[in-house]
Amino acid sequence: MASEKPYLAVTCTAPVNIAVIKYWGKRDEELILPINSSLSVTLHQDQLKTTTTAVISKDFTEDRIWLNGREEDIGQPRIQACLREIRRLARKRRSGDEEDQLPLSLNYKVHVASVNNFPTAAGLASSASGYACLAYALARVYGVESDLSEVARRGSGSACRSLYGGFVEWQMGEQADGKDSIARQVAPESHWPELRVLILVVSAEKKLTGSTVGMQTSVKTSPLLKFRAEAVVPARMAEMIRYVKERNFQGFGQLTMKDSNQFHATCLDTFPPISYLNDTSRRIIHLVHRFNAHHGQTKVAYTFDAGPNAVIFTRDNTVAEFVAAVRHSFPPESNGDKFLKGLPVKPAPLSDELKAALGMDPTPGGIKYIIATQVGPGPQVLDHPHAHLLGPDGLPKPTV
């Protein structure tokens, strides 16, 4: 048998995903099994990603984790669930060879460091990219090659969708043990090259009701949520997959907006009610509908998760004009230069007709900034040793 390496480090990156058919509500809290299937778009890692280094060594005495430079409690139930699941899969894979050949490295402790290249506080969901990246890095370091949906899902439900690029379906599954509750790619990131994504960052405040608790309350109290999961989502999933495959933006955009609105309606139907949208969110909705009405077709579409930030889908030929409409309706306060991040967007004039059609009093500072991005690939391994967030001693490298 090959001699054991005393030390092994792996660094990966994983993307953020945005659901266009929403996941809200679990049928099993521990296994994180959803009450309905969902469909998401994976965003490009050039703009938004989590980077994670996992190191195993015979010299480590305990598992440890650092998030954005701060050491966190590795005992958090969801982190533990991921670790247990990966080690179980690693043992299962190894014992397939010969029982007595279990490598020692399976007993090595692991050190993990993870950073996001976007402000976690901005209300941009970091749990999906974070747990997908954790699952991916741990799998690499422990030599697991099987489907990682279950590992990622145990950290955060939506994380299983960040294991793939492009357009991804999380099938709710039927089995009690959740083995068939997995993510699969519907179309790769290259499938719809004209599609663009704008994230309108409205606020950086922490939300009043977190997703986990919000879902639990909705499942218990909202008859509308039950109706949505059983009677609405199955047909919408099929419809959305068809629109994606056909690259039908009209259909894709309208259904994306309707599904976002229905998700937020189930939040209001929850008792006591949950409201994730704020006045700026509602003004953005208004702006999108007026912009589309002016053009006589669906050129832009919004979706909102459990927070006030808007995610806008559009095509490359509409980005400049819509950004101009956003600047007109929500004049940037002072950071004119920092207002637009990510992919470059050329300034475009707004016609007087469109200005009149928008018919809104400007709300200065309503939108803090915009991140322009596109559809992107799934998790990546970074081979360069410089990429590691942890040094050979298993501790975070000093940041320059």
Instruction: Read off the pTM.
Output: 0.95
**What pairs with residue 8 in β-bridges?**
56
CA of residue 114 relative to chain centroid, distance:
16
Please report the pLDDT score of residue 55 as a whole number.
96
Helices (H), 61-159: 77-95, 127-142, 149-155
Please report the pLDDT score of residue 2 as a whole number.
46
H/E stretch holding 341: strand 340-342
Please report the pLDDT score of residue 400 as a whole number.
57
> Per-block average pLDDT, block size 10, for the chain (400 residues)?
70 98 97 98 97 96 96 96 95 68 79 90 80 97 94 96 98 97 98 98 77 95 98 98 98 99 98 95 98 98 96 98 97 81 96 95 93 98 94 87
Residue 296 CB burial class (10 angstroms; 0-12, 13-18, ≥19): exposed
Q: 1: how many CB neighbours lie within 10 A of its CB?
A: 7
CA of residue 55 relative to chain centroid, distance:
25
Of 315, 316, 326, nearest to 290 by C-alpha is 326
H/E stretch holding 11: strand 7-15
3-class secondary structure, 83 = helix
Domains in the chain, ordered, with CATH? 7-188+380-387 (3.30.230.10), 195-374 (3.30.70.890)
Please report the pLDDT score of residue 1 as a whole number.
38
**What pairs with residue 28 in β-bridges?**
33
Q: 337: how many CB neighbours lie within 10 A of its CB?
A: 7
| Structure tokens that stand for 140 in this block | 């690499």
| Structure tokens that stand for 297 in this block | 């077709």
Cβ contact 356:329 at 8 Å:
no
